[in-house]
Every structure is written in structure tokens, then in C-alpha cells.
Amino acid sequence: MNDRKTNRREFLETMGAVGAASALMGSGTALGGFLADKPERLAIDGGTPVRSSGLGSGSYGPLFYDEVEEQELLDVLRSKSPFRRPGGKVALFEQEYAAHIGAKYAIGVTSGTTALYAAMAALEVGPGDEVILPAWNWYADYDVIVLSGALPVFAEVDDSFDIDPGDIERCITPRTKAIIAAHLEGCPCDMDPILEIARKHKLRVLEDCAQCCGGKYKGKYVGTIGDIGINSFQLSKTITSGEGGAVTTNDPVLYERAFRFHDVGVVGRSFNESIGGGVLAGFASCNFRMNEFTGAVLRGQLKKLEIICSALRANAKKVRAGIADLPGLKLRKSGDIEGDLGMRIFLDMGTRERRDQFLRAIRAEGISANGPGGSAILPTDGRVANKATIHPDWPSFRSPQGQAIQYGAECCPRTIDVLGRHGGVTIGPKYTEEDVADVVKAIRKVYLAMHKA
């Protein structure tokens, strides 16, 4: 046993510890103990960086634009019919998207934000209602609750950066109407306990899938698990038309309400096509209709969705395997690691100080690295903390509950802690084997040097 250990150490030393680690990457060999013996000089301390030019991934969708999207767009141009119509690109995209994820209905809209607003209208969220959302989330989730006249109530996130199911019941009152489960940075929420709480208290669940298009929880696509789901096709999402969004649901009443809200409240031609005359009366609404150019690009992008997701997952899996043996390693939790998109790999570095040190050192190695991103710690944002609205008599904060509620850092200490101690690397769907090996190399090199220190 001892002999073998010595031999392996000699082998590693002759190869260069990090070279050996990447050569053996994916084999699951436990190398941590040996590598920790001889850390390499970090680039940040004057050593040679793993890569001379920076490795990161831009937006995924446009990397996959090709003649498929071109043809779809040309069809619309040549038809001289860019407005939503029965049998057009938007209607086809809605059918194909719904079929792809296994939802009964999908509605194409102008953005993720307007999809959320339509979902609020579908759920009949209004003055006097409260909606629970995670303290780490995109602004739109907070904004549409306020724009509906309702009161946002923040729950903490857990080590998945998604809403902590264990913190939801603390936030429930007799006025609570819905819970927003946002699947953030590619990571599906743990939906079972969330659904159980919702059933127990008769609450609706809205899934915000804007950062997790193509993600799954226990084999089901996100956006099909709660009462209603939304997605965004803005540039930074899994697939993109620059801007765009969708509402998904299996509930015909929620569908009709969302559809009416997004199309001037009326039962238009496109609506007749999908659900007949409808069963509800119209109500004050908006226009968030998707145009045919957007629908065309999204039809093309939908064909790439699984290619992008499986490439991300495969690359993330290789990185996780390549660092699995690191001593004391703690990765970001996931509601379902198999369904997780793997767009980032986050390490829990224990403290914000060590996290920042880790990120600086990884970047010096030529690998893009960041803390959690794409969302904000909403309660600490000025306009949230100050409950600023477009009119002083806005109903959200005029009620006794609205006046009493306190935002600011005090309402989400655990969220601030969780986000501060995690640092991660970006995974690209077009990373080569060498790129993936370099990511592993950089993490190992920096982590082991810091573990020594």
C-alpha cells in the first residue's frame, strides 16, 4: 500500500501534478491527497497560467444560429406577414414548445417579464394578496407582484441558490396567494416539498424558468410542474431571439386568462384557433403579443435546445468528475443534478473572503470565474428597500401589512451568506475537451493551493 503510494507520488511529480490530474480526469481516481503535497505556483503569484487567453462562454443561443433560423426568418419576410396569425410562426412555436416540454398550453409573449405579468393576471393576484418569492431573484419577479398591486414577501434561498422550501411556511399568511419557484442559474428547485406546502395551504405555484429553459426535475421539464410557468428568450437565456418569453400551463382557465391579458383582453382569431370562444369575460389587459420574426427564430432555436442542454450537462459532468476528489470539496446543491443544466459549477469556499481569493486566482489562470449572477439580492436593492412605486397611493404598500413589512439586508441574512461564499466557473456548450480539461486544471491548482494555505 505504502509502496504504491510512493510510486504514484513519483509518477505525479515527474508528470507534473496538474498534468497528471488532467490526464486522469474523469477516471475518478482519488488524487487529492497526492496533489495537495505539491501545489503548483499560481498565476496570481507569478506562475504560468493554465491558459494564455481567457476562457468563458458568451450567450449560448447565437452560437447555434445557422440556416435553420435563416430560413424561418426568410419565410416571414417573404410572406410580408409579420403579425401573429393562425398557423403562423408564433402559433407553431407555441404548439412545438408546449409539446416539447410536455405542457398543454404555451403562449408566446414579448419577454420573460411580460410572461410573469401575464401569469400574475392568470392567477388573479391583486391588492391585498401576498406572493412569496426568493430573496435572490431577478427584478421582474418582484416588479410584477408590485405592478399587480400585491405585496412581495421574501423567503431565503438555500445552498442551491433557489428558494429554501424549509423557509416558505414562515412567510405564509391568510393573504398568501402564490409561491414563485425560480429555477436559477440552471438549477431546478426542489419542487416536491414546495408543491406539498402549496397543496397544504391551497397556494398556487408559479415556476420562473427564465434561467433554466430545458431543465428538468425528476424527469419532468420545469415549467410543467407547478400551476403555471414562464420562460424568457432574452439574449442571456438558454435559447434566444434577443427578447421574447412564454407562459406555459396545463390549466385551461389559467391559459385563457393569461392569453386574454397578453392580447387586449379580447378573444381574437389566434385565440379562437387554440381554445375556441373561451369561457371567461374579458378584463382590463395589455398587448404582449409575440411577432412572427421572434416566433420564427424561436422555432429554429427550439430545435437546438436539447443539443445545448446536453452539451452543457456533459461538460459540467466532466468538470465535476475531474474535481470530485478534492479534499473537503463542497459543491452547490441542486434540486436534481440530472436535470440541472450545469451552466456553472459553484464551489462553497466557506467565507466571502476565501471565495473572492479563489475567484481572483482562477481568473489569473485564464478561466472566467464569478460569484452567483443573473439575479439580485432584491431586499437590499434601493428601490425595493424603499418600497418605491410609480404612485404614492400604490396599493402594495398602503395596506397595514404593506406598511409593516421591512425589506433590506435584515430580511435575508442567510441568502447573503450563501451567495457570498460560493464562487464558480462558467461552462460553455461549445467547450472542447481541452477547454474542459483547462477548467479542471485551474480549479484543482487554485483549490489545492488554497487548501494548503
Ligand X SMILES: *Cc1c(COP(=O)(O)O)cnc(C)c1O
Interacting residues with ligand X (CB under 6 A): 111-113, 138, 140-141, 182, 208, 210-211, 232, 234, 245, 374
Return the beta strands (E) in 259-337 as ranges.
none
Nearer to ligand X, 113 or 291 (CB): 113
| Torsion angle in degrees (nearest 10) through CA of 256, 84, 87, 120 | -20
Whole-number Å distance between alpha carbons of 440 and 21: 8
Smallest separation (angstroms) from ligand X to the CB of 439 = 24
As measured in angstroms, the least distance from the Cβ of 210 to ligand X is 3
Q: Which of 141, 340 has the CB closer to ligand X? A: 141
Q: Shortest approach of ligand X to residue 282 CB, angstroms?
A: 25
Nearer to ligand X (CB atom), residue 211 or residue 396: 211
CB closer to ligand X out of 50 and 140:
140
Helices marked H in 16-62 — which ranges? 17-23, 32-37
Q: Are strands 176-182 and 130-134 parallel, antiparallel or unpaired?
A: parallel
Dihedral over Cα of 328, 334, 340, 343: its sign: negative
Shortest approach of ligand X to residue 415 CB, angstroms? Answer: 15
Q: Which of 234, 179, 239, 235 is nearest to 208 (CA)?
A: 179
117 or 255: whose CB is closer to ligand X?
117
Could you give the CA distance from residue 427 to residue 344 in angstroms, rounded to a whole number? 5
Summary count for the chain: helices (H), strands (E) = 17, 14
Instruction: Name the closest residue to ligand X (Cβ).
Output: 112
CA triplet 403, 404, 406: central angle to 5 degrees?
A: 105
- Which one, 130 or 207, has the nearer CB to ligand X? 207
411: CB partners within 8 A, 6+ apart: 135, 154, 379
DSSP lists the bridge partners of residue 176 as 130
DSSP code for 177: E
Shortest distance in whole angstroms from residue 43 CB to ligand X: 32
Least gap, CB of 265 to ligand X (angstroms): 21
For ligand X, which is the closer residue by CB, 32 or 214? 214
Minimum CB separation from ligand X for residue 74, in Å? Answer: 25
